[in-house]
Amino acid sequence: MSLLRITSPHTHRAGRRTSWVMQMVMLATVPGLITQTYLFGYGTLINLVIACLTALASEALILKLRNRPIGFSLSDCSALLTAVLLALALPPTVPWWLTVTAVSFSVIFAKQVYGGLGNNPFNPAMVGYAICLVSFPVPMTQWIGASEIIQAGAVPSFSDSLAAIFGSLPAIDSYTMATPLDAFKHKDGMMSSEAYASIAGLQSANLVSWMYVNLAYLAGGLLLIWLRIITWHTPVAMIAGLGLMANVFYGLDPDNAASTIFHLTSGAVMLGAFFIATDPVSSCTSNRGKLVYGLGIGILIYVIRTWGGYPDGVAFAVLLMNFAAPLIDYFTQPRAYGHKKAKKGLTIGGEK
Amino acid sequence: MAKQSNPPVYAFHGGIHPPENKAQSLALPLGKPSLPGELVLPLGQHIGQASRPLINVGDRVQKGQAIAINNGFLSSFLHAPTSGQVSAIESRPVAHPSGLSDMCIILTPDQADEWIELEPLENWRDISKTDVLAFLAEKGIIGMGGAGFPTQVKLQGAHKHPLTHFIINAAECEPYITADDMLIREKTLELILGIEILQHLVEAKHVVIGIEDNKPTAIAALEKLLKERQSSIQVAIVPTKYPSGGEKQLIQLLTEKEVPSGQYPADIGILCQNVGTCVAVYEAIKHGRPLISRFTTLTGDALKAPQNVEVLLGTPISHLLDYADLQDKKLTRLVMGGPMMGFTLDSSDVPVVKTTNCVLAATKKELPQPAPEQACIRCGMCEQACPASLLPQQLLWFAKSQEHEKAEHYNLFDCIECGACSYVCPSSIPLVQYYRHSKSEIREAREAAVKSDIAKQRFEARKARQEAEAAEKEAKRLARQSASAKPAAKKPAKPAPEAPTPAAPAVDEAAKKAKIDLAITKAKLKKLEKALLEAQEKEHTEEISALQTQVDETKKDISELETKVASTPVAPTKKATAPAMSDEAKKAKVDVALASTKLKKAEKQLAEDPDNTELKAKVSGFSADLKTAQEAFEKLGGNNTKPATGSKPVLSDEAKKAKVDVALASTKLKKAQKQLVEAPDNAEIKAKVAGFEKDLKEAESRFAQHNTALADNATPAVKPAMSDDYKKAKVDVALASTKLKKIQKQLADDADNEVLKTKAADFEKALKEAEARLSSLDNNPAPDTPPAKKPTMSDDYKKAKVDVALASTKLKKIQKQLAEDPQNSELQGKAVEFEKTLKDAEAQLAALDVPVTPEPAKSKAQATDEDATRKLKIDAAIAKASLKKAEKALSKAKELNSEDTSSLEQQVEKAKAHADELEHALQNGTASAEPVAQANEQSAEFKERLKKQKVAAALAKAQVNKLKRLLAADPEVESLQQELAAAEKTQQDEEAKLEQLTNTQENR
């Protein structure tokens, strides 16, 4: 009789593995994916496939270089999740090489170079996104408009999407249109009411389709909270931060500032709140820390959208707060059992 | 459940809901396995030191007989679970996470199961609680929940604060385990009665039974009985959530209070006891039944008949597994305890102990091998599950990167190792294992730090000791120097005045050393006790026992040192009748020196080989010798009339402290004095010296006070003060003489410098004063003995010498000038004058020299006598030493059963005889020296007169010479002639007187 010698505990929660967590997050993106595909055509799906293949290939390559077990690490699905999130964040018509660049950069430089899963200080997907946004601003800001208001009168077909991604689609301009955020940013001194009336990107059809996208991601996010994969702290704090800023400035200057609803339902707010900012590796870890972290992201998003150079600021806001996460972690430790108050900072040796 | 007022139940952070798996073992009723072939009873079934066996191999014991006794404060008794024979006391594998073996008593049952006569404690309500606790200790009751903390210790601790809550832990939150559930069902009444007994002992405001809501049968049984008895005991039903049965979590659940980090529940007025313990307490007090059996759950899919059993302690697990029908092939993991906090067993040979609540024989499917560890993604699930509100993901990071300080900062030591974090971890990281590792590394580092602290302390103490010794040496050297500056002529009188000087420091040194050792040891004890307390608080089992032994050892050392300190400097006298003679003193001195040398040597050896009992015996023998010698010596140094009190003065702590202060102050003083000698004009140092002197005096007076208060014998208190004064005086003398010498040297270079002259005179005066003080101190111990006069005499002598030197220098200078300018009448006059002065001085010197040169016959005789005595004493010492050697050899030979024991015995006899003889002779010699000494005293007086006379004669002669010279220079002066005549007459008179005296002396 050879008995196992293992330290306690001897039992583990069945099923809930890291790969399961990743798969659940990917699953939760499905409503958003469907909505985006429905509203903007098959480009997102095609991008998704390209991104996933690129992610697996680059992860495998680096794992091989690092002499790590390839199958073991690939099976945790973390690279796939990065690819999925990137594919959802990229415009549906970006050329294939842009997707490949973004994904491979995220996996190789933002994750594996730091030591692989769990060791990356920055959100890999957002690193890849930001690199492309900075490097290739034009294709990164071309979004398909709502079908009612674009020239083509319908979302691009599968072949058109393929053509746009892999070759060049001369008629691409008939599909694309400035996103509401982009349009609002470049209203050039017009009053809000004028802008809503005159700018194509700010027509209600466009606003509504973006709202649907955000609502879909909200639904997926609620699923994650229900599954206890994420806690409510980060998304709520982030939405609250953005909402608060928008509310304050809209209250101060309703003629020029965008409304709270406009801010919360446009761009990548919900995707960012529930899927990007909640990346556990690069975010804050304690509940209080998550609140601070989320609030910071929300505020930064508003700041970048309103006064920065980019129409949307989720990627930069998340990356900036990634920087701050370790510091926030030090100052937001929970009060441990038996301690009168929570410890703060790292005053080592100072207390007993 | 609302019918009875159930107490409120609060919540705790985190917690998990693992599958309960409790139904399996509750399907069958309570089982009673048969007696196994042998019972294995580990001596360490509890936290703290292992018990000490009371029986020997081969003894027959009865059921319930105590077979091992508690071994210290945190220890317990052990009783025979059945009647039988002790077949062995040996090392066997025991139930411990380490999987190591430990000492066990092996009992072979005789199947008779014969009880010893049990004595219940009927009057537990009437006798003192301490007695009840002692009774419980004797019954081997320990906490049966898991840690195995001796119950009486826990109950004692509960008296620290008034208790608000007495909580009975029936939560049993671990999956699979149902032993407490079954116990409540089977022994409801016993449990309630046990709780009532404990409540009588602790007197808490609220008594609450905390039980999880997954035990409805037990809850119903409890509530029914409590209602019947109209008891004030409450039942709090807590939701099923692991780890609600953890002491801290249950306290939070029932009281909303948290046990402060690093403290006990008792510190916030809460006491927790396991249900098993309560039942054991009841059975011990009502039936006198010691803790020899317990309820244990046998469960797991590898068992065909999982059930609860009431099992005798020491029953091998294999016997129980057989009883529960083990399917050997299915078994992959054997866990003692539950699946969350239990530990795996290597084999089923280990026995059931007092804390074994469950044996889980699991199949591969039931407890699968953990999946390979993946990277931590900081998902925070562990954080949500942690009942201590820690950040397990951060702790893991710090544990992996060995950042122990950060880990501690993140409250690593508040981790209760419940395993909830590991249970929920999606990456299958064995978090608890990481924390255990980190904790043990931190503990090791702490121990190492303590060790290095002790080493540092030791080093500093050694340095201080060495400095003190160096200062002492320096003082001695100075004393010697000033002594050697005196005329070396007084041979016979020399040993007596010198005697106190070298011996007293020797005594002092020993005392000081002992004191320093004592201080170090005390500091060590304090540190150890602190560490022990810490360990007890954190329940570091391994550390506690080790520390306890260390503490005990240190305490023993301290008591030894204390007696040594108490006895070394102020040892009482024994031989009160012995006369105080100078040779006696010398003998004592020699003895002291000899004994202390031996002692030191032995101690040094002992330090190198601390376990050598022979050496220890030797050391104690030597220290006894030293004591006797010191006593003898001290008596001689002090008054003859010193009472012969036999009882050792035991110094109070304060007195001891005062003593240490004295030692410290004197060391400081010495150092400062040394500096002063090097720079005699430094006012700062002088002020320092004065300050230290004051300190020293204060300390001394304090010490003296304490000492007198303690012992009616006042001499010990006076003595050190005296010797210190004496030392001080000596140092003063040395200082003054140094200064004087310096000035004289300057004066010799520049003879006419008035300032220097006055300075020299001042210093001379100071020197004289100091010497006078010294001599008076010298006189004190033995008043009117000739040695006391010596310093004054030598002083005169020195002065005279200086005068001579001065005069001759001046004369030479003048003569030189005169040679250059022979016509200068002034110079001539001066030269004559100087010559005269020189002659005067020389005469004086001669006068001082004279009395010593013709040695009195008696004193010579005494000297020879003394020489003989000394020789005798040395012989005696040698004889004693050889005797000891022979005895040692004999004892060794006896040990080795050597054949020449008889010859060695003879040798010993011979050596003894020789030593006795010598001792006898020595005593005779001492006795014969007595009258001589008395005579000596008279002769000293006489000598003094003689000396004075001689001086007078010399002076007269000098006067005559002077006048003659003047007359030669100027023969016409009449007055001079007359003067000369008168002087010549005086001279004749004086010389006549001197002759007379000399004659008298010769006649004596």
Q: How many angstroms separate the CA atoms of B584 and A154, rounded?
A: 129
Is residue B644 over pLDDT 50?
Answer: no
Secondary structure (DSSP) of A223-243? HHHHTTSS-SHHHHHHHHHHH
- Residue B991's pLDDT is 76
- Model confidence pLDDT, tens digit, residues B107-157: 999 988 888 888 888 888 888 888 888 888 888 899 887 778 888 888 888
Is residue B715 over pLDDT 70?
Answer: no
Q: Would you say residue A193 lies in a domain?
A: no
Average pLDDT over residues B930-946: 63
Q: How many angstroms separate the CA atoms of B967 and A165, rounded?
A: 146
Cβ contact (<8 Å) for A12 and B378? Answer: no
Backbone angles phi, psi at B213, to 5 degrees: -75, 5
Average pLDDT over residues B296-315: 92
Q: How many angstroms separate the CA atoms of B43 and B67, rounded?
A: 10
- Residue A122's pLDDT is 94
- Residue A150's pLDDT is 78
Whether residues A92 and A140 fall in one domain = yes
- Residue A145's pLDDT is 83
Query: Is residue A175 a contact partner of residue A42, using CB atoms and an 8 Å limit?
Result: no
Q: How many angstroms separate the CA atoms of B663 and B676, rounded?
A: 20
B743: tokens are 């000035």
- Residue A351's pLDDT is 44
Half-sphere exposure of B780 (CA within 13 A, CB side): 16
Alpha helices in A41-179 (DSSP H): 43-65, 70-74, 78-89, 96-104, 124-135, 137-140, 158-166
Q: How many angstroms separate the CA atoms of A173 and A323, rounded?
A: 38
Whether residues A117 and A230 fall in one domain = no
Q: Would you say residue A3 lies in a domain?
A: no
- Residue A215's pLDDT is 95
* B383 in A contact zone (CB under 8 Å): yes
**Residue B1 Cα distances to A279, B4, B5, B224, B237, angstroms:** 45, 7, 8, 12, 9
Number of Cβ pairs < 8 A linking chain A and chain B: 176
Calculate the average pLDDT of chain B: 76
* B268 in A contact zone (CB under 8 Å): no
Average pLDDT over residues B471-492: 76
Residue in B656, B667, B749, B662 with CA at minimum distance from that of residue B709: B656
* B363 in A contact zone (CB under 8 Å): no
Query: Is residue B32 a contact partner of residue B309, using CB atoms and an 8 Å limit?
Result: yes
Cβ contact (<8 Å) for A10 and B432? Answer: no
In angstroms, the separation between the Cα of residue A123 and the nearest Cα of chain B is: 12
Lowest mean pLDDT segment, chosen from A178-182, B62-66, B552-556, B903-907:
B903-907
- Model confidence pLDDT, tens digit, residues B661-710: 667 767 767 776 666 666 656 666 666 666 667 767 776 676 666 555 54
Average pLDDT over residues A2-31: 86
Residue B331 parent element (H or E)? strand B331-336
**Chain A residues close to B391, C-beta within 8 Å:** 285-286, 333-334
Query: Is residue B376 a contact partner of residue B397, using CB atoms and an 8 Å limit?
Result: yes
DSSP code for A311: S
Residue with the larger pLDDT of the pair A39 and B866: A39
Angle between helices B974-1003 and B901-969 (to 10 degrees): 160
CA–CA–CA angle A173, A174, A176 (5° rounding) = 60
- Residue A297's pLDDT is 96
* B266 in A contact zone (CB under 8 Å): no
Backbone angles phi, psi at B115, to 5 degrees: -75, 145
Residue B297 parent element (H or E)? strand B293-299
Angle between helices B500-538 and B431-485 (to 10 degrees): 170
Domain count, chain A: 2
- Of chain A, the end-to-end C-alpha distance in Å amounts to 47
- Model confidence pLDDT, tens digit, residues B251-271: 999 998 899 988 888 888 899
Cα dihedral A98→A102→A108→A113 (10° resolution):
130
A163: tokens are 């053509």
Q: How many angstroms separate the CA atoms of B571 and A62, rounded?
A: 84
- Residue A134's pLDDT is 92
Average pLDDT over residues B388-414: 90
**Chain A residues close to B414, C-beta within 8 Å:** 336-339
Q: Would you say residue A4 lies in a domain?
A: no
Q: Is the bond leading into B109 cis (omega within 30 degrees of zero)? A: no
Q: Is the bond leading into A9 cis (omega within 30 degrees of zero)? A: yes
Residue in A294, A179, A166, A180 with CA at minimum distance from that of residue A230: A294
Which member of A229, A338, A343 has the closest CB to residue B260? A338
Q: Which residue of chain B is at minimal alpha-carbon distance from A329?
A: B394
* B408 in A contact zone (CB under 8 Å): yes
* B362 in A contact zone (CB under 8 Å): yes
- Residue A168's pLDDT is 75
Cβ contact (<8 Å) for B375 and A21? Answer: no
Whether residues A152 and A96 fall in one domain = yes
Cβ contact (<8 Å) for A8 and B341? Answer: yes
Whether residues A33 and A119 fall in one domain = yes
Most A CBs within 10 Å, among B332, B358, B389, to test the A interface = B389
Instruction: Note the residue count of chain B.
Output: 1004
Residue B152 class from Cβ within 10 Å (0-12 exposed, 13-18 middle, 19+ buried)? buried
Q: How many angstroms separate the CA atoms of B930 and B815, rounded?
A: 56
Residue with the larger pLDDT of the pair B689 and A296: A296
Q: Would you say residue A164 lies in a domain?
A: yes
- What are B170's strand-pairing partners? B211
Query: Is residue B806 a contact partner of residue B747, using CB atoms and an 8 Å limit?
Result: yes
Q: How many angstroms separate the CA atoms of B162 and B169, rounded?
A: 20
Q: Which residue of chain B is at minimal alpha-carbon distance from A4?
A: B333
Cβ contact (<8 Å) for A10 and B16? Answer: no
In angstroms, the separation between the Cα of residue A272 and the nearest Cα of chain B is: 17
**Chain B residues close to A5, C-beta within 8 Å:** 99, 344, 346
Whether residues A93 and A161 fall in one domain = yes
Q: How many angstroms separate the CA atoms of B80 and B57, rounded?
A: 13
Whether residues A165 and A48 fall in one domain = yes
Residue in B1001, B867, B887, B897 with CA at minimum distance from that of residue B943: B1001
Band of the pLDDT at B386, cuts 50, 70, 90?
A: very high
Q: Would you say residue A149 lies in a domain?
A: yes
- Model confidence pLDDT, tens digit, residues B776-822: 655 554 444 444 444 445 566 666 666 677 767 767 776 776 666 66
- Residue B522 makes CB contacts below 8 A (sequence gap 6+) with B558
Query: Is residue B665 a contact partner of residue B724, using CB atoms and an 8 Å limit?
Result: no
Q: Which residue of chain B is at minimal alpha-carbon distance from A228?
A: B381
* B426 in A contact zone (CB under 8 Å): yes
DSSP code for A335: P
Query: Is residue B281 a contact partner of residue B124, using CB atoms and an 8 Å limit?
Result: no
Three-state SS for B613-627 is HHHHHHHHHHHHHHH
Residue with the larger pLDDT of the pair B464 and B758: B464
**Chain B residues close to A13, C-beta within 8 Å:** 16, 18, 423-424
Whether residues A48 and A172 fall in one domain = yes
Residue with the larger pLDDT of the pair B202 and B658: B202
Is residue A101 over pLDDT 60?
Answer: yes
Residue A115 class from Cβ within 10 Å (0-12 exposed, 13-18 middle, 19+ buried)? exposed
Residue type, A164: A
- Residue B118's pLDDT is 86
Q: Would you say residue A188 lies in a domain?
A: no
Q: Would you say residue A352 lies in a domain?
A: no
Cβ contact (<8 Å) for B375 and A6? Answer: no
* B346 in A contact zone (CB under 8 Å): yes
pLDDT-above-70 percentage for chain B: 60
Backbone angles phi, psi at B706, to 5 degrees: -60, -40
Band of the pLDDT at B612, cuts 50, 70, 90?
A: low
Q: How many angstroms separate the CA atoms of B633 and B615, rounded?
A: 26
Residue B85 parent element (H or E)? strand B84-93
Alpha helices in B57-210 (DSSP H): 129-138, 151-157, 179-186, 188-202
Backbone angles phi, psi at B897, to 5 degrees: 55, 35
**Chain A residues close to B263, C-beta within 8 Å:** 338
Residue B790 parent element (H or E)? helix B790-820
* B423 in A contact zone (CB under 8 Å): yes
The domain of A169 spans: 19-177
* B445 in A contact zone (CB under 8 Å): no
- Residue B451's pLDDT is 92
Cα dihedral B600→B604→B610→B614 (10° resolution):
-50
A49: tokens are 């496939």
CA–CA–CA angle A190, A195, A200 (5° rounding) = 135
SS3 B706: helix
- Residue B606's pLDDT is 64
Cβ contact (<8 Å) for A4 and B409? Answer: no
Residue type, A2: S
Q: Would you say residue A252 lies in a domain?
A: yes
Is residue B933 over pLDDT 60?
Answer: no
Residue that terminates a domain, selected from A124, A156, A177: A177
Cβ contact (<8 Å) for A281 and B377? Answer: yes
- Model confidence pLDDT, tens digit, residues A214-238: 999 999 999 999 999 999 999 999 9
* B261 in A contact zone (CB under 8 Å): yes
Query: Is residue B140 a contact partner of residue B151, using CB atoms and an 8 Å limit?
Result: no
**Chain B residues close to A117, C-beta within 8 Å:** 374-375, 377
Strands B234-238 and B66-69: unpaired
Cβ contact (<8 Å) for B406 and A348? Answer: yes
Whether residues A231 and A93 fall in one domain = no
Average pLDDT over residues B387-406: 90
Band of the pLDDT at B498, cuts 50, 70, 90?
A: very low
- Residue B372's pLDDT is 87
User: Helix (H) and strand (E) counts for chain B?
Assistant: 28, 16
